[in-house]
Every structure is written in structure tokens, then in C-alpha cells.
Structure 1
């Protein structure tokens, strides 16, 4: 017979234990939820050549209810550019040109980053008290690639959701290889119709299909094209409305009014 645990909703912990920088190699800025209830966690990944600071401010500005935020800084500095970071090697040291998919350094660097992200996620789950389905990832461009990689290829299989702004998987990643327990959460990818970095709509749709191949049948994935936008961070009311709708529909929330009723109890197996 299965045992059950009955408890008062008031006994639920509102504040998560803040993550410790000493437990992780990746640098980050953490902000608890403004309303005092750290039920969800939003992890933000900046784009190529940026740093964690602006995305830490974005996490605060979003002010999502019952949601703490954590902005991560990419592990590698961009050569010859102070204060700029990359998630994997991106430039040729000699010419300064962007590396192509044929260069093995890109994927090797991404695999190194995946291990570091996994280390941080395990700390957040095991030591800080965040539950995996309530952890959501948000990334721009190369940061979107890392967010998708963590959810689709990482060891932690049931993250809550991913938003990627103008970011897809690396071209050299194997999406035809069968992965047990494909990702079953929520994915939103937005990109500009004038994004010359990603390519035209046909190319973008093919990249999105690569993502869908790594999802389980239960996953809900959406790709949205934004008119009159190039390869930039979300910057229009229309795009932010799509993003906020994703958060509102996909992020769970505690019903505080119900919890405060004295005759209501939580029953957990």
C-alpha cells in the first residue's frame, strides 16, 4: 500500500536557499522573487560578446510572480575584448573570423559548457530546493543555443521550459541520434523575419525541426517569426507580449488564497 504525506499548505517554504558561488564554476547573479515566494526559477543566458549584468537586470525587470531569477555569465572571455564572454569558442585567433561548423572547437566548447550548466542545475535542485519542472531557461542567440542544449541534451531531463530568442542548436549537433526520454516540456523560439545570421524562413524552420526531433510527443514547441526584426534581442511590444504569454501559461503558481484556508491540506504520495 502506498504511503501518503498530509501537511498544512502553510508549512511550504516560501524562500529558496540562495545558490553559493563557491559551489559552481560558472559566475552568476541571483535575485529572489520580489513577492517573497521562490516557487519558480528563471535562468538567463546572455548572447555572444555580452555578460551577465544586463540579463540580471532583465530578470528583475520581468518581475515574474513567484519566480526567482539567475543570470549566468559565459565561461570564456572573447579574445581581445574586455568584459565580453562566449559560451563556446567563436572566433579564429588569427583572422578574427567566426568559426564555422567544421571547426571542432565549437562543439567541444559547448560540451564543456554543458557540464558547467549541469553542475549549477544540480546545485540549484539538490541544495537550494528548486524543483526541476519549475526551472525555466531563457537565452538570446548563442545563449539560446546553450539553453536549448541543456534541456535537450543535458542529464536533467524534465526542466520546465525554454525560451530562445534568435538561437538554435549548433549545426554540427546530432539530432538524428535517438535520445531516451526526449524533452517533454515547453519550448518557444522567436526570431526576426530579417535575421541574416540565422537565414531565411525556410532555413529557420529546418533548424526548428531539429529541435522538435529531440522532443517527446508530450512536448509543446512553438516557433514565432517577428516582422521587421533582425538578429537582436526581443525589443518590440509584440514579441514581449508573446514571451509574457508563455510565462503566464506555462509557469505554475501557488494558490495563496487557497493555502491560507485553515481547513485545506496538501496530500502528497
Structure 2
């Protein structure tokens, strides 16, 4: 990747928010990240750390077991996922990162650290997680989220192939289950673990990971599940050829997750036309007659795109793309105003002086 200026939010002495360049993305997605891996909290110091940083959130134990069920030591878990607290110690939002076919989650863990989104913890997943619950590529080429190729011939599967959708539906189920675990769905009354409500959970995916992210957002809307905060999809989107799906709810309070697709003008694997079809199919449901009738039109959200001219099938590369990425997350991520917490309203009569 070429150099790219990254801006993050900071505050001056008066508490005003400003955005300024602080880092260079460079070759983040292909760089080594051994020095970037953050050690999880131990049981001995968890209480002290929680008291010192009350807005930091640790992954619930149920999530750890789901992602890495056979782990006996920390190294096993790191092979399946990498979790990082926000650098400002306030984990208001959570960004889940999904790599492309055969890629490593470590590179995306480093990419997330370079982005340094305010008040945002990150969870970088590897497709070997959930006890190899996704797809193992042949010839030791790694893992991916769903089948896109006929491994006996080496040819790409045609659009609409049942093998794509059967494996994709399995992947969607796994990711949706993870989101439910992260948001505390059906948690026990005595469970005091840390959770994120769905609207504060975001997805970022590249290629196959982008497709899984957008498909999961559509799945949640069709099945009447609460929208996520947003999904940014690089060089990937909905799979074409799926039959019309029936919306399984009539709840007007359910809106679709906002999605931004970033596509290269010269991408032959996921073309500009592919992105247009993905957006049209997604918005067909997001802006359906039922949603428009039962929801304030101003609250409807759907999918949009950004086209980078002369770019192929590759990750974020320059400053313009970085600004699009940062702008999308800045629009939808929530900021917790910790400076105002602990204050209470004082009744006006308490300010009256006695005569």
C-alpha cells in the first residue's frame, strides 16, 4: 500500500474536538505485528484495572470460548482472534475486522491500531476460529469465510452456485451468533460481563470478508434483528444470484445497517457494476415499502459506494480512501462524554439565599 495520512480526534484544553494527522498507514496490512499484540487482562489484576479504567471492556468469556473453544493457552486464542482496547481507554464502540481469503487477522489487527479510532475497541478475526468453523483452503493456503472456488478444478464458482450460498449461510450464522454474544443477548441475570449494544458494533471487511459483513447486515434486517452501527466493505459486497428473500418481521423500528462499499474502478474481481448490484439489492430491502410505511423516512439507512478510479482489487491505499473510511466511522460511531459523568442536576431552589 502507498502512504496514507490518518487523522484521529483529540481535544484542546477547552475540551474542543479537533482532527489532526497522527500516523501513516503505509504497508500496514502486510507488515509484521508481533509488537502490536496486546496482552489480555489476567484474573489477578482485572479488578484493579477495571477500577482504574472503568470504561474499558474485556471480551466476555462466552465470546472467548466461542471463538477459540479448544484453546488451553493464550497463544491458541491469538491464532483465532486478536482483541485490542481503544488507546483512550474508553471502549464505547467495537470494530470487528474480517480478512480476505487466505489473509491473516494479524495484519488487520495492525491496520486497526494504525487507524486508532476514538473510543473504539477492535476484534480481528481469523477464519480458522470457531474450531475451523469456516472454510479451509487447500495446499496450506490458509482459510477463508465461504467457498468461492471449485478446489478440484481451481476455477471460480459461477455466480449463484449453491456451494457459495450454503457455505456463506453457515458463515453468516457464525458471525451473527458472535454479534449476539457480544451484545449480551440471552445473558444470565448474574452475568456482569462487558457487552456492546448492536448499534455500537461495526464491521470492516476486505474481499470475502467484505461480502460476509454485508450479507450479515442484510440477514439481520430481514430477520428483524437490531441494526449494527455500520459496515465498511472494501472490494466486496452481496453475492449475486440469491433468490428473493422474504422479510420475516413487520417491526417498523428495525432499520437496516448503514453500509459503505469502497471499490476500485479497475477491479475485475469485484467490479463497479458488482458494487452497484449489491447496493441495489441491499436497498431493495432497506427501502422497501413496508419500511417506508412504518418508519420515518428520514431514519431509513441503506448502502452507498465510493469508487476509486484506476484502482484494482486491493486494500485501502491512499489519503483519499482513508478520509472516506474515517468519515464513515466518524458519522456513525458514538462518543461517550466521560467529562460530564458524575455530575448531577441541582434544583434551582438550592441556589436561593435566605433573607
Name the TM tier (shorter chain).
Answer: 0.7 to 0.9
Larger deviation, residues 14-23 vs 125-134: 14-23
Structure 2 unmatched runs, 5+ = 1-52, 70-79, 128-133, 185-192, 293-299, 347-355
Q: Does 1:72 align with 2:125?
A: yes
Query: Alignment partner of 1:95: what SS?
Result: coil
Q: Does 1:61 align with 2:114?
A: yes
How far has the Cα of 1:244 moved from its partner?
Answer: 0.4
Which residue pairs with 1:96 in the alignment?
154
If asked which structure has higher relative contact order (CA below 8 Å, sep 6+), I would say 1
Q: Give per-residue Cα distances to partners, 1:42-95, cap 9 Å, x unaligned.
A: 00111112121111111222111111000111232211134x211112222221
Q: Does 1:35 align with 2:101?
A: no
TM-score by length of 1: 0.85
The runs of at least 4 aligned residues of structure 1 exceeding 2 Å deviation read 23-27, 154-157, 172-185, 201-204, 256-260, 262-265
- Correspondences of 1:1-269 after superposition (within 5 Å): 13-20=54-61, 21-24=64-67, 27-74=80-127, 75-82=134-141, 84-126=142-184, 127-154=193-220, 156-175=225-244, 177-180=246-249, 183-199=255-271, 201-216=272-287, 217=292, 218-259=300-341, 262-263=343-344
Q: Whole-Å Cα distance in 2 between the matches of residues 264 and 60 of structure 1?
A: 38
Which residue pairs with 2:75 in the alignment?
none
How far has the Cα of 1:121 moved from its partner?
Answer: 1.2
- Mark the CA change 1:152 to 1:115 in structure 2 (over 3 Å): closer, same or farther: same
Structure 1 unmatched runs, 5+ = 1-11
- Mark the CA change 1:25 to 1:107 in structure 2 (over 3 Å): closer, same or farther: farther
TM-score by length of 2: 0.65
Query: Alignment partner of 1:214: what SS?
Result: helix
Q: Whole-Å Cα distance in 2 between the matches of residues 258 and 22 of structure 1?
A: 36
Q: Whole-Å Cα distance in 2 between the matches of residues 19 and 28 of structure 1?
A: 14
- Mark the CA change 1:16 to 1:168 in structure 2 (over 3 Å): closer, same or farther: same
For the 8 Å contact 2:199–2:226, the answer to whether it is kept is: no
RMSD between aligned alpha carbons? 2.4
How far has the Cα of 1:25 moved from its partner?
Answer: 5.5
